[in-house]
């Protein structure tokens, strides 16, 4: 196997007849994630009619191009923007921070903590002490992938699938946390519960999160979470960072 080095990135490849993929790393790292998100913001801000869609992921950006335009010129422009800045050297500058109440009473908290090599109390303390980033949104509308936890939280997904976890469930695997937008099956371990609604079509802004948001969890009781279910954002507090 040829070892993949950071020097080869960023890398542009063609996808189908109208897409290009810009990869900023072989693995999901904070450096690659910040680079992908920053490039997405930059290319989106240019308002180019020849680029119909810009979609960031954990370490890459997919661009869908207008087939009616000059594809060669568009690709040359994208490559020039990709090389114009050291995207992999950019610092992370969060614009918003969410503080979300969570009751750490999920049925698999003990199992997850054991796999991470810590006690339940230490697991809760570590998760509530860290500032996590919304790495990307996906799988369900507005559903965030939050990372990254410390390396000992690089625990695997379950061998099987839990038939369902409720909306607002906090689950963990591979150094990441997810808040479920809707009730759904999962292979991640269910460790806590929020009243947070990641997506609500009746809100002025249906999607609560934006990629790059910072998230912190505040420990709450089961009863407090139940009381917060009628709140628009489940008791979460949103701050603008300067």
User: What is the full per-residue pLDDT of the chain (242 aa) written as tens digits?
Assistant: 233 445 689 999 999 999 999 999 988 888 898 899 899 989 999 999 999 999 888 899 999 999 999 999 999 999 999 999 999 998 877 789 999 999 999 999 999 999 999 999 999 999 999 999 999 898 899 999 999 899 999 999 999 999 999 999 999 999 999 999 999 999 999 999 999 999 999 998 899 998 889 999 999 999 999 999 999 899 999 999 86
Count of residues in the chain: 242
Residue listed under structure tokens 């010129």: 73
- Cα-based angle 134, 140, 141 (whole degrees, multiple of 5): 75
List the domains of the chain with CATH numbers: 6-89 (3.30.1360.40), 96-240 (2.40.100.10)
Reduced to 3 states (helix: H, G, I; strand: E, B; else coil), residue 86 is coil
Please report the pLDDT score of residue 28 as a whole number: 80
What does the block give as tokens for 126?
């570590």
Reduced to 3 states (helix: H, G, I; strand: E, B; else coil), residue 70 is coil
Give the span between the Cα atoms of 166 and 193, in whole angstroms: 8
Return the beta strands (E) in 39-165 as ranges. 51-56, 60-65, 96-102, 132-137, 144-147, 162-165
Please report the pLDDT score of residue 27 as a whole number: 82
Please report the pLDDT score of residue 91 as a whole number: 84
Reduced to 3 states (helix: H, G, I; strand: E, B; else coil), residue 237 is strand
Residue listed under structure tokens 């460790």: 191
- Cα-based angle 113, 118, 120 (whole degrees, multiple of 5): 55
Backbone Cα Rg of the chain: 19
The 10 Å Cβ neighbour count of residue 13 is: 10
């Amino acid at each position: 196997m040829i070892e993949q080095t950071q020097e080869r990135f960023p890398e542009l490849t063609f996808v189908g007849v109208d897409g290009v993929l810009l990869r900023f790393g072989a693995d999901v790292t904070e450096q690659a994630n910040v680079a992908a998100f920053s490039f997405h913001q930059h290319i989106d801000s240019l308002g180019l009619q020849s680029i119909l869609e810009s979609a960031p992921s954990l370490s890459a950006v997919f661009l869908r191009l207008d087939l009616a335009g000059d594809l060669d010129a568009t690709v040359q422009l994208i490559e020039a923007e990709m090389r114009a800045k050291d995207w992999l050297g950019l610092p992370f500058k969060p614009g918003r921070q969410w503080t979300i109440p969570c009751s750490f009473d999920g049925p698999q908290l003990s199992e997850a903590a054991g796999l991470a090599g810590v006690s339940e109390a230490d697991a809760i303390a570590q998760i509530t002490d860290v500032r996590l980033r919304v790495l990307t949104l996906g799988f369900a509308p507005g559903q965030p992938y939050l990372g990254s936890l410390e390396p000992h939280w690089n625990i695997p997904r379950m061998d099987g699938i839990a038939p369902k976890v409720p909306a607002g469930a906090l689950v963990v695997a591979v150094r990441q946390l997810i808040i479920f937008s809707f009730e759904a099956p999962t292979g991640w371990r269910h460790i806590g519960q929020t009243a947070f609604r990641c997506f609500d079509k009746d809100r002025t802004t249906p999607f609560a999160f934006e990629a790059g948001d910072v998230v912190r969890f505040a420990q709450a009781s089961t009863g407090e979470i139940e009381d917060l279910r009628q709140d628009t954002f489940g008791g979460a507090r949103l701050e603008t960072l300067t």
